[in-house]
Chain A
């Protein structure tokens, strides 16, 4: 057994750094964790608290009680995203399953064959999460496989300022040492691939076995070492973000909302603690003044920052030597697929699983594996995030340009197969469930040319009847669930 890493510096100021520090301190109690609070906000990572189900895995890893953290930080449950304005009608990108296979035939194939017959209803009508969200209700997944709620999954809507603060307190209790400081330079090892010490503006020099860079897009520590950046700006043209905040005015819904605008989009996330509107736009299609005007027109509130400059892309090697970049420091991508918090969760999970020996370079095979899998997942996220851009029918110049953007080889093949026959390719590493891909493709209006031959075995009338019954059954089950407001009330009252 090799010696373990004993000291860690976590660099950053926002939710990513807090999450990393507390996770390491709780999961690896023998490691001394120091958090250098760089006090440089990162709007990409610290504005939108939309968290996929991976946040629950993170809470399990750290030992955070879910009800307690929602109550304490005034968050909300999150079943998915209502996506509006890209295609003819809005669609829901929900967690958990859509429909059930019948006689060995995929549900989506049966639904597609039914050809949106009016009596069968929209695709969303078969998704438990969507059915709940459309009526502002909530339920927890059921362990009983016969229950319609067995097919349910959910994430959380984090109220980031309070959540970040709560993690800071938890970290402190778990022994995380905190110091404020601005990183000026780094001393590097002779071969230039490790950081021997970080020098702060106040003259402090800090050393550690491992440096975790959770400082967001600026990657203040990781950028001290050699890096290669993969630029995604042609795939994803949004390069400016503006945030506007509102105080809580009503009970938050159990879902968030993504709305297409003539140049870009608005992401609306509500929690008990308030509402965040995040705007994304492309600076070569919209001026700063126009953007601020658009924010005000759309939400009635003022943006609270100058536009944040977003460079979408990723590092080919988030981890090099003794420095590992996580979250937006490794993968900077617009959060329209709610992947901001998700990336942080996944990267922390992987880092802990691959926790290095004291001499980090002694395990190059694991570092290479970490980088490869983080890269694969990031590219799937990019492809998924790009779907609405590629498939929208919106006429504006911004959207027409985006629709003609470059497409990765994998996505081109996957789209061709889906367009041809509704087949969805499985990938070894994917942040999204198959049903999320399907809901997006179908929601964005893609309809396969051919029907699934295996569906022939189920007569259309029978299939349609089953679908109608399934939707009705789901509707009745949803009738009996409490509203999201009731859940949150009970939670706040401490009875949940």
Chain B
């Protein structure tokens, strides 16, 4: 018998998932669906452990997750009251009164292998009527007009090369995946965990003690216990790397309200005196919240500010969430893998919470271990997660740091703080000549960085000299043509709300 044959007959790992929020059920669903021969899945959840569920806005990667699990879009959208999302609108960030979008699409068309931003930048510097950078993005044009249609893949031009994500009710998503998982044989136990047993010799977690005195044993434990980080943090004592010196927001006040006006195909992030406010329109309500730094504003003032700012009648009273930016030094320790908030937290400014869950799951699937768990799998998992977290962290810091605001102590702090070297270099490189440092792993490609730099008024002092090769009398009409084409294409698309009502409306819910 060869090593391979032995492997095929190896017993399935008993996977125990701790926590039944978005992270827990996404993990359970993916493992049950994609690795049925390698593991059995047992999920333990307790209603006593609350679900945070701020991660209602997503980025396009979620569609790949759903697709891999064979989840039908219409079914999913109806069940989670989802709306489409073309990007995020940022208001009042660089200056009060500013407004820009970070869309899920590119800006303009490259010419002769030279990035579009250099032509735009040249036109801007030479007074050639460059217009707003956002005018060159179909996702921005659609958002401004509240339009939506599924992108047509066959014609990848500037008017159809966009992507989209969803805005949905995360607790309904968890419930949806719970049914999905249980249909695939995932065992669910509703109980409070009162203790964790560990192997006396090597410290591996061996089981969870429940309040009724029983124990759930397992080989591999997935810690989806949220901020508490029951296994990786509390039990195994993995240190938390604190990033709050760069991302000082540590509280959020959440309060849903009725939707007034149209259901926008984008999420909004409005800068406030000591943080920012989200607005996430779902089919049946609008989520709102004020992410703020408690060192700069007291809770009641923050609540008042949120209540004063929301557009419609509130559906629930304000709820306070507490957190800290940062991550566990390692997410996978011994035989425990932290997924979601148990592994770290980055504020939802760029809707990355569910993405971070997803990337942990994907990496775990690719590195699914044998028993005993070996360092080679753990190290690669941890290296991957660190890269992902740090790249998102730098991107978030950019939003705060690149501001001209000096109207509150909070903005003065973030504007003048020192940033990680990895980010300082990126900003310097961009300022010099509009160049974006690209990387193969991790979130946020060039268009995302361009959107934020320009939106935050970080402008390049120079442009790629190759952009000079197009004479001005050809550049001006070319730019104008791009803008006109994009505006016309967006204008011709259906209204977002009508599109949802026709294709993807929720069922059986009375508003």
Say yes or no: B376 contacts A420, CB within 8 Å.
yes
A453, B35: Cβ atoms closer than 8 Å: yes
The interface residues of chain A lying within 8 Å CB-to-CB of B462 are 1-2, 357
Max chain A C-beta neighbours (<10 A), residue from B432, B461, B466: B432
Query: Interface code A309-332, partner B: CB below 8 Å = 1, 0 otherwise?
Result: 000000000000000000000000
A449 at the interface (CB under 8 A from B): yes
The interface residues of chain B lying within 8 Å CB-to-CB of A416 are: 376
Give A374 to B439 CA distance when docked, in angstroms.
14
Contacts of A355 in B (CB 8 A): 464-466
Asked if B7 and A423 make an inter-chain contact with CB atoms under 8 angstroms apart, the answer reads no
B367 contacts A423, C-beta separation under 8 Å: yes
In the assembled complex, the Cα of A354 lies from the Cα of B465 at a distance in Å of 8
* B9, CB-defined interface residue at 8 Å: no
Residues of chain B contacted by A354 (CB below 8 angstroms)? 433, 435
Contact B432 A365 (CB under 8 A): yes
Q: How many A-B residue pairs have CB under 8 A?
A: 95
A131 vs B466: C-alpha distance when bound (angstroms): 39
Q: Which residue of A lies closest to B439 (CB)?
A: A428
Per the bound structure, the CA–CA distance linking A27 and B36 in Å amounts to: 56
> Are A454 and B34 CB-contacts (below 8 A) given A27-B469, A352-B466, A427-B440?
yes
Contact A353–B429 (Cβ < 8 Å)? no
A interface footprint on B94-127 (CB within 8 Å = 1, 0 otherwise): 0000000000000000000100000000000100
Q: Tell me the bound Cα distance from A312 to B487 in angstroms.
A: 55
CA distance A454 to B37 in the complex (A): 9
How far apart are the CA atoms of A413 and B383 in the complex, in Å?
A: 11
CA distance A456 to B7 in the complex (A): 11
Query: Complex: how many Å from CA A451 to CA B440?
Result: 25
Nearest CB in chain B to that of A368: its residue: B425
Let me know if B48 is at the binding interface, CB within 8 A.
no
Q: Residue B365 at the A interface, CB < 8 A?
A: yes
Q: What B residues does A57 contact at CB under 8 A?
A: 113
How far is the CB of A384 from the nearest CB of chain B, in Å?
16
Does B316 touch A at the CB level, under 8 Å? no
Chain A contacts of B499 at CB under 8 A?
A: none
Q: Which residue of B lies closest to A460 (CB)?
A: B8
Neighbouring B residues of A406 by C-beta, 8 Å: none
A104: shortest Cβ distance to chain B, in Å? 6
Interface membership of B250, Cβ < 8 A = no
Interface size on A, residues (CB 8 A): 43
Find out whether the CB atom of A365 lies under 8 angstroms from the CB atom of B7.
Answer: no
Q: How far is the CB of A59 from chain B (nearest CB, A)?
A: 12
Within A46-63, the residues touching B (CB, 8 Å) are 57, 60-61
Q: Is there an interface contact between A456 and B38, defined as CB atoms closer than 8 Å?
A: yes
Interface membership of A115, Cβ < 8 A? yes
Known contacts A353-B466, A369-B435, A456-B37; A430 and B440 CB within 8 A of each other? yes
Residues 336-352 of A at the B interface (beta carbon under 8 Å): 352
| Bound Cα distance from A429 to B438, whole angstroms | 9
Write out the residue numbers on chain B whose beta carbons fall within 8 Å of the beta carbon of A2: 461-462
Bound CA–CA A453/B38 (angstroms): 7
Q: Does chain A have a CB within 8 A of B68?
A: yes
Is B376 in contact with A369, judged by CB distance below 8 angstroms? no
With CB as the reference atom, state the residue of chain A lying closest to B376: A420
Distance of A144 from chain B, by nearest CB (Å): 12
A306 near B: Cβ within 8 Å? no
CB neighbours of B368 from chain A (8 A): 453-454
**Residues 65 to 114 of chain A near chain B (Cβ within 8 Å):** 104, 113
A450: B residues at CB distance < 8 A: 7, 370
B366 at the interface (CB under 8 A from A): yes
Bound-complex Cα distance A355 to B440 (A): 24
* A457 within 8 Å of B (CB atoms): yes
Asked if A366 meets B432 with Cβ closer than 8 Å, knowing A1-B462, A27-B469, A352-B466, the reply is yes
Across the interface, name the chain A residue whose C-beta is closest to B441: A426
Q: Any chain A CB within 8 A of the CB of B200?
A: no
Q: Is the CB of B365 within 8 A of A365?
A: no
Is B75 close to A, CB under 8 A?
Answer: no
Interface check B380, CB cutoff 8 A: yes
Which among A363, A423, A451 is the interface contact of B366 at CB below 8 angstroms?
A423
List B contacts of A29 (CB < 8 A): 469
A472 interface contact, C-beta 8 A? no
Q: Which of B319-354 contact A (CB under 8 A)?
A: none
Q: How far is the CA of A460 from the CA of B441 in the complex (A)?
A: 31
> Among the listed B8, B35, B440, which residue makes an inter-chain contact with A426, where contact means beta carbons less than 8 Å apart?
B440
Q: Is A230 an interface residue (CB 8 A)?
A: no
Does A4 touch B at the CB level, under 8 Å? yes
Q: Is A417 an interface residue (CB 8 A)?
A: yes
- CB proximity to B under 8 Å, residues A1-58: 1-2, 4, 27-30, 57
Distance in angstroms between the alpha carbons of A104 and B34 in the assembled complex? 10
Question: Within A265-299, which residues are at the interface with B (CB < 8 Å)?
Answer: none
- A1-B125, A423-B367, A450-B7 are contacts. A457–B433 as well, Cβ < 8 Å? no
Residues of A with C-beta under 8 A to B472: none
Tell me the nearest residue of chain B to A353, going by C-beta.
Answer: B464
Once bound together, how far apart are the Cα atoms of A452 and B38, in whole Å?
A: 11
In the bound complex, what is the Cα–Cα distance between A432 and B428 (angstroms)? 29
Q: A452: which B residues are within 8 A, CB to CB? A: 366
Cβ-defined partner of B35 (8 Å) among A353, A413, A454: A454
Contacting A115 at CB < 8 Å: which of B4, B125, B466, B468? B4
- A103 → chain B, closest Cβ, in Å? 9
* B219 CB to nearest chain A CB (Å): 14
In the assembly, what is the distance between CA of A457 and CA of B368, in Å? Answer: 14
Question: In the complex, A61→B367 CA distance in Å?
Answer: 41
The yes or no answer to B201 lying at the interface (CB within 8 A) is no
Residues of A within 8 A of B35 (CB): 453-454, 456-457
CA distance A426 to B432 in the complex (A): 28
- List of B residues within 8 angstroms of A113 by Cβ: 4
The smallest beta-carbon distance between A478 and chain B, in angstroms, is 28
Min C-beta distance of B289 to chain A, whole Å: 34
Query: Chain B nearest CB: distance from A125 CB in Å?
Result: 21
CB distance from B363 to the nearest CB of A (A): 10
In whole angstroms, what is the CA distance A428 to B425 when docked? Answer: 16
Residue of A nearest to B121 (CB): A1
| B3 in contact (CB, < 8 A) | yes
Complex Cα gap A115–B5 (Å): 11
Q: Is B211 an interface residue (CB 8 A)?
A: no
Q: How far is the CA of A4 from the CA of B463 in the complex (A)?
A: 11
Assuming the A-B contacts A363-B433, A428-B439, are A423 and B380 also in contact, with contact meaning beta carbons closer than 8 angstroms in the complex? yes
Partner of A417, one of B376, B433, B461: B376
Please, which residues of chain A bring their CB within 8 A of the CB of B7? 450-451
Q: With both chains docked as a complex, state the minimum distance between the C-beta of B377 and any C-beta of chain A, in angstroms.
A: 8
Complex interface: chain B residues within 8 A of A417 (CB): 376, 380
Q: Across the interface, do A4 and B465 meet the contact criterion of CB distance under 8 Å?
A: yes
- B36 contact set on A, CB distance < 8 A: 456-457
B381 CB to closest chain A CB, in angstroms?
Answer: 11
Query: Is B437 part of the contact surface with A, judged by Cβ < 8 Å?
Result: yes
* Whole-angstrom CA separation of A453 from B377 in the bound complex: 13
For window 424-455 of chain B, which residues contact chain A by CB distance below 8 Å? 425, 428-429, 432-433, 435, 437-441
B469: chain A residues at CB < 8 Å are: 27, 29
Q: How far is the CB of A371 from chain B (nearest CB, A)?
A: 13
Q: How far is the CA of A2 from the CA of B125 in the complex (A)?
A: 12
Please state if B425 and A365 are interface contacts (CB–CB under 8 Å).
Answer: yes
Q: How far does the Cβ of B78 sit from chain A's closest Cβ, in whole Å?
A: 26
With most chain B CB atoms within 10 A of its CB, the pick from A368, A416, A451, A456 is A456
* Contact with B113, one of A61, A427, A429 (Cβ below 8 angstroms): A61
Give 9 nearest A-B pairs by CB, closest first.
Answer: A456-B37, A428-B439, A365-B428, A453-B368, A355-B465, A453-B38, A426-B440, A428-B440, A420-B376
Chain A residues engaging chain B, CB cutoff 8 angstroms: 1-2, 4, 27-30, 57, 60-61, 104, 113, 115, 352-355, 357, 363, 365-366, 368-369, 413, 416-417, 420-421, 423, 425-430, 449-454, 456-457
A–B complex contacts, Cβ < 8 Å, 11 sampled: A29-B469, A61-B113, A354-B433, A365-B432, A366-B429, A368-B425, A420-B374, A423-B380, A450-B370, A454-B34, A454-B368
Sample of 4 further A-B pairs with CB below 8 A, known A355-B466, A428-B438: A1-B462, A353-B435, A353-B464, A452-B366
